[in-house]
Amino acid sequence: MDIGAGDGVRSSNTFALVQDGWKVLGAEYDSRKASLLAQNYSFYPRSRSCRFLVTSTNIVDLLNAYLVEKDFAVLSLDIDGCDYWVLDAILSEFRPRLVVSEFNEKIPPPVKFVVNNVPEFSLRHHFFGYSVSKLGDLLEKHDYVMLEIEFNNVVIAPAEIAREHSISIEDAYSKGYLNRPDRKEKFSANANMEPLLGMDPQQCVDFLHNFYAEYKDEYQIELG
């Protein structure tokens, strides 16, 4: 299941699976990308696409409508908005064996940040998604574990099949983002939020309240 699949090829977490003959469902709302997604998937008979605005209240119905198995293999989630709430809804009804989800990599542990659950959330510069420490709430709630971070994507799995391979959120963040030698080069657009990485937790919270001042009623933040 690829939610926020784009055109299905560029920057895709799942296109290799599509090419390998996996049964894949891709959902994309942007009309141009959804059209390209349908074209690209048309060459692969086991892949299906749909133009759909995914929210936390309709995602379970979508998966059920397409007869997605309760323990389907891979979930890729990248909708630049209410990803946290959509992930929570999915894990409440399904148990994907591997989850790859984009997160707001700029906000370090132990700060818990998440945008409010608004169906038609509009992406703004640096304002989207959730921090990795906020993900910890879902890991505990649904008994999932952290496997790794690859820059701005987390990789998690059910505890019953992956506990022995799990690492802490802090270690994953350090290895997968903070201490990557090419981080600043790859994420040069994050320069104005780079000071967060050298602040203590309360300073981070104060910085974010100031940085997100125009969105003050549109997010939640606390210390873990």
The predicted-structure confidence for 106-129, as pLDDT tens digits, reads as follows 999 999 999 999 988 888 989 999
Residue 122 in domain: yes
Q: Is 112 in contact with 205 (CB distance < 8 Å)?
A: no
Residue 168 in domain: yes
Residue 1 in domain: no
Q: What is the pLDDT of residue 123?
A: 86
The total domain count for the chain is 1
Question: Is this model's pTM higher than 0.85 or not?
Answer: yes
180-207 CB burial, b ≥16 within 10 A, e <16: beebeeebeebeebeebeeeeeeebbeb
Domain extent for 90? 53-223
Q: Is 90 in contact with 71 (CB distance < 8 Å)?
A: no
Distance between CA atoms of 186 and 176, rounded to whole angstroms? 13
Angle at 107 between CA 101 and CA 109, to 5 degrees: 90
Distance between CA atoms of 177 and 63, rounded to whole angstroms? 32
Q: What is the pLDDT of residue 144?
A: 98
| Bridge partners of residue 50, in order along the sequence | 27
Distance between CA atoms of 18 and 147, rounded to whole angstroms? 23
Angle at 143 between CA 140 and CA 149, to 5 degrees: 75
Task: Indicate the average pLDDT of the chain.
Answer: 96
Q: How confident is the model over 133-161, as a mean pLDDT? A: 98
Q: What is the pLDDT of residue 121?
A: 87
Q: How confident is the model over 59-74, as a mean pLDDT? A: 97
Per-residue pLDDT of 27-61, as tens digits, reads 999 999 999 999 999 999 999 999 999 999 999 99
Residue 57 in domain: yes
Residue 14 in domain: no
